[in-house]
Amino acid sequence: MLKRFGTSALAVLTVLGACSGAWASAAGGAIKNPAANWQHLWDEMLLDITIIGVVFALIIIYLLIRYRRTQPDQEGNPPVLSLAAQHAWVLIPVFLFMADDLFLAARGWNLWNDYRSVPAGSYEVELKAQMWSFNFKHPNGVEESGTLHVEAGKPVVVRMTSADVVHSMFIPDFKVKEDSMPGRVTYLWFYPEKSGEHVITCAEYCGMMHSGMHGKVIAMPKDQFQAWADAEKAKIATANAEGGKS
Amino acid sequence: MSAPAQAGFGKVLKEWIFTCDHKRVGILYLIGSLAAFLVAGLMAMLIRVELSSVGPTLTANPGTYNVWLYFHGAAMILGFQIPALTGFLANYLIPLQIGAKDVAFPRLNALSLWLFWMGIVLALLTFVIPDPPDFMWTAYPPYSIISSGNTAFYTFTVLIMGFASIAGGVNLITTIIYMRAPGMTWSKLNMFVWCTFAAFIVQLIFVPVLGTAVTMLTFDKYLGTTFFSPGSGGDVLLYQNLFWFYSHPAVYVILLPFLGIVFDVVATFARNRVFNYKAAVYGAIAVALMSGEVWIHHLYASGMPDWIRIGMMISTILISVPVGVMMISLVGTLYRGAIDFKSPMLWALGCMFLFLIGGLTGIPNAMSAIDLHIHDTHFVVAHFHYVMAVAGTFAVMAGVTYLFPKMFGKMCNEGISKLGFVVTFIGANVTFFSMFFVGLQGMPRRYFDYQQFPQFQGLNQLITVGAFIMALGFLIVLISWIHALVAGKKAVDNPWGSRSLEWTTSTPPGPGNWAEVPDCTNFDPYGYGSNK
Ligand SMILES: [Cu+2]
Ligand SMILES: [Cu+2]
């Protein structure tokens, strides 16, 4: 519902942003990686704010040089603005700022929907954060703390809560974070396209060892991951069997 | 033999302690807020030394570090910026700028001053009590409830400071409405008066919400209520919503007065009219009105419903519109001016530059999707230091150097003052511009250590170097003030050649400010260029 409303509002706002061509295509079955689109939007926005900043700075510097005081008793010679000019000096900038703002907002909304729409068939992991560790539980019952083994090339969704205080799971490489807290289940998803290791770190202040609360996403090729998951599961089975015997 | 001298000193002390004069109250606010600034600044230096290398540097105990960080944030915002702008500058300047003999309720003014000082003393006791708060100035539960840090101590400090600012707000709003000199119409008010008026209204609406939030926190911890405890039907996010419902508008309580003083300083030193004055005034009012509907941008990563995260992304980005209108007026004030680069003007221009960078880097923060990466990283730290912390400090410096001759009857040495500005400006930019990069790469804030990111050490060292340069700059500024007090040249009544009303008083102004209430029928605070 939100998404549909977003898309239609987006259509209206597109007019404002017609100058920019590169839209992340909304259609198509391929998984859109929010991290890649984040970078794309970031670059665009950086250009946008740099231009505004440089224009403002250059105007200020020009005015400072052009209108510096040359005689001690010199006074300014302020322009007298007509009523029309007064309004124009408000309405034109307001229109320009709003056009830019709404254009960026529309792009941001689009990306937001990518961040919040978990692709079908994602690998679902549970996280219970606690002071001061990330504890993950895989769908096959395997639990691990600190590390999170996943399959490369498959999106991963983490459903999270917390055992004590507010924490935040932050994976800088995937440009994503979400707070985990007691009493609520929140989520984030990310897309490890290739195998590799990525730091997970806590981004919400959680006391003494806040900065020591970190771990790793370990993305592995499909067969290796399967082997890891099976081996871990077998370990649980052995442990249970031994526990049953005694 | 020394008895008469002591009696003299005792008399002066008594005069100051029991003063109800708005100028003295203002100066006492300044002294208190500078004390907070110095101690909180010292904490910043300890923090920066700690972060200059991976692993423990200055202390091996993260708990100690967390107390420094708590004190730095809480004292800088509640003890320095808000009181320096709405306590010192507003008290000193508003009656002088509107042609009043004093504020509407001088005794209430003294009460808010001494409440504020109690708050400062309480805050400084952080370093004495055995269980200093360690839960940052935000004090999010459940951590602030289960922490061994003293939550009640934090709550009472906030409540006392809050009382002080509510009393101050009521007082100055009444003063502006009822005590303007004859002929001083609303459209003749200085930008500082307008901006502070808007800020006080924001303050009156939102401070009670912060008071409520921290009181509930204390109830939860000590009286067993469960407002924020999900296990018993409470909600942890309730606190975050209440806290930011105040604390985002608090940013505008700082921003508006500091833009106001920068407007007045720029107009004086450019000897020019504020460009499109009415637009700037409406801009300030619009900022105040919009300030209460953007707080969710602090909760983009906190699991709030998507519709409100998107809604407040749009409202947050749109607040750049009235701010942009104010910026155009500010820059336009330079147009066809006669600009003199005296030290107050340099601080004001420095503030504009910092604010420009801070404002523009706020746009990525405002975008909820972009924020999912930079939220709670050093990028945000750099942003709010640019836009509020350092820009606000520069504005306070502009205000103090601007009013110094009026307050103390002495001129600061321009050479030392300018040197102080240049060093501080360089230091601030080295520190906070580098901080954008380390944040963008993923360094979270409130970290004691970063062994998971050893690659960040180089940038962190650069930031620390910048912090030391900045500290040196502020030290030079302090020296310039002390030097001026001891050996400064005597100031004339209107050393800057300003048209604003406060400069028509004698220097320093006596009780009651003017012998007779000034007639403002033909007065214009920005009436420059009319001598041709
Ligand atoms: Cu944590
Ligand atoms: Cu905010």
pLDDT digits (tens, 9 = 90+) for B486-506: 999 999 999 999 999 999 999
- Chain segment A183-205, per-residue pLDDT in tens: 999 999 999 999 999 999 999 99
Report the pLDDT value the prediction gives residue B517, as an integer from 0 to 100. 87
Pick the residue of A4, A33, A55, A56 with the most B CBs within 10 A to test the interface with B by mutation: A56
Write out residues 334-363 of B within 8 Å (CB-CB) of A: 334-341, 349, 352-353, 356-357, 360-361, 363
A169 and A102 in a common domain: no
Report the pLDDT value the prediction gives residue B6, as an integer from 0 to 100. 59
Q: Which amino acid is at B243?
A: F
Determine the Cα–Cα distance for residues B216 and B119; give it in Å rounded to an integer: 20
Nearest-CA distance from B17 to chain A in Å?
A: 41
- Chain segment B123-147, per-residue pLDDT in tens: 999 899 999 999 999 999 999 999 9
A173 interaction partners in chain B (CB closer than 8 Å): 442
Nearest-CA distance from B131 to chain A in Å?
A: 14
Determine the Cα–Cα distance for residues B367 and B356; give it in Å rounded to an integer: 18
A209 interaction partners in chain B (CB closer than 8 Å): 62
Structural contact between residues A63 and B335, judged by C-beta atoms closer than 8 angstroms: yes
| Domains identified in chain B, total number | 1
CA distances B313 to A28, B292, B406, Å, are 27, 13, 44
Domain that holds residue B325: 19-504
B272 interaction partners in chain A (CB closer than 8 Å): 75-76, 78
Q: What is the mean pLDDT of residues B153-163?
A: 93
Q: Which CATH number does the domain housing residue A136 bear?
A: 2.60.40.420
B325 interaction partners in chain A (CB closer than 8 Å): 90, 93-94
pLDDT at B433 over 60: yes
Q: What is the mean pLDDT of residues B332-356?
A: 95
Tell me, yes or no, whether A245 lies in a domain: no
Confidence class of residue A27 from pLDDT cuts 50, 70 and 90? very low
Q: Output the six-digit token pair for B210.
A: 């912060």
- Chain segment B410-426, per-residue pLDDT in tens: 999 999 999 999 999 99
Report which of residues A16 and B55 the model is more confident about: B55
Q: Which residue of B has its CA nearest to A93?
A: B325
A33 interaction partners in chain B (CB closer than 8 Å): none
Q: Output the six-digit token pair for A81.
A: 């603005």
Domain that holds residue A134: 123-237
Residue B275 sits at the chain A interface (C-beta within 8 Å): yes
Q: For residue B340, how far is its CA from the centre of ligand 2 (angstroms)?
A: 35
Percent of chain A beyond pLDDT 70?
A: 87
Rounded to the nearest integer, the mean pLDDT of chain A is 87
A149 and A93 in a common domain: no
pLDDT at B21 over 80: yes
Tell me, yes or no, whether B517 lies in a domain: no
Residue B233 sits at the chain A interface (C-beta within 8 Å): no
Q: For residue B371, how far is its CA from the centre of ligand 1 (angstroms)?
A: 19
Strand (E) or helix (H) holding B392: helix B391-408
A138 and A105 in a common domain: no
Ligand with an atom nearest the CA of residue A209: 1
Confidence class of residue A245 from pLDDT cuts 50, 70 and 90? low
Tell me, yes or no, whether B3 lies in a domain: no
- Chain segment B164-203, per-residue pLDDT in tens: 999 999 999 999 999 999 999 999 999 999 999 999 999 9
A92 and A25 in a common domain: yes
Tell me, yes or no, whether B230 lies in a domain: yes
A187 and A146 in a common domain: yes
pLDDT at B339 over 70: yes
Q: Which CATH number does the domain housing residue B56 bear?
A: 1.20.210.10
A154 and A110 in a common domain: no
A162 and A63 in a common domain: no
A142 and A93 in a common domain: no
Nearest-CA distance from B3 to chain A in Å?
A: 49
Pick the residue of B334, B351, B361, B532 with the most A CBs within 10 A to test the interface with A by mutation: B334
A44 and A9 in a common domain: yes
Tell me, yes or no, whether B514 lies in a domain: no
Report the pLDDT value the prediction gives residue A240, as an integer from 0 to 100. 83
Q: Which amino acid is at B51?
A: L
Nearest-CA distance from B524 to chain A in Å?
A: 14
Tell me, yes or no, whether A74 lies in a domain: no
Q: For residue B108, how far is its CA from the centre of ligand 1 (angstroms)?
A: 44
Helical residues (DSSP H) of chain A, grouped into ranges: 2-14, 34-66, 83-116, 222-245
Tell me, yes or no, whether A78 lies in a domain: no
Q: Which residues contact B78 (CB under 8 A, 6 or more apart)?
A: B119, B123, B137, B157, B158, B161
Residue B60 sits at the chain A interface (C-beta within 8 Å): no
Report the pLDDT value the prediction gives residue B530, as an integer from 0 to 100. 56
Rounded to the nearest integer, the mean pLDDT of chain B is 93
A56 interaction partners in chain B (CB closer than 8 Å): 327, 331, 356
Nearest Cβ partner of A45 from B335, B336, B363?
B363
Give the count of Cβ contacts less than 8 A between chain A and B.
Answer: 260
Report the pLDDT value the prediction gives residue B1, as an integer from 0 to 100. 41
Ligand with an atom nearest the CA of residue A202: 1
pLDDT at B265 over 50: yes
Tell me, yes or no, whether B529 lies in a domain: no
- Which of A163, A188, A177 lies closest to A214, judged by CA? A177
Q: Which residue of A has its CA nearest to B63?
A: A208
List own/partner pairs for B62-65 with CB under 8 A and 24 or more apart.
B62/A208, B62/A209, B62/A210, B62/A211, B62/A212, B62/B448, B62/B449, B63/A208, B63/B134, B65/B448
Residue B304 sits at the chain A interface (C-beta within 8 Å): no
| Domains identified in chain A, total number | 2
A167 and A108 in a common domain: no
Tell me, yes or no, whether B13 lies in a domain: no
pLDDT at B2 over 50: no
- Chain segment A78-126, per-residue pLDDT in tens: 888 999 999 999 999 999 999 998 999 999 999 999 999 999 999 999 9
Tell me, yes or no, whether B519 lies in a domain: no
Q: What is the mean pLDDT of residues A123-135?
A: 95
Tell me, yes or no, whether A244 lies in a domain: no
Tell me whether residues A201 and B134 touch, CB distance under 8 A.
Answer: no
Q: What is the ipTM of this complex?
A: 0.90
Residues pairing with A168 in the sheet:
A179
Tell me whether residues B369 and A111 touch, CB distance under 8 A.
Answer: yes
Tell me, yes or no, whether B389 lies in a domain: yes
Q: For residue A167, how far is its CA from the centre of ligand 1 (angstroms)?
A: 4
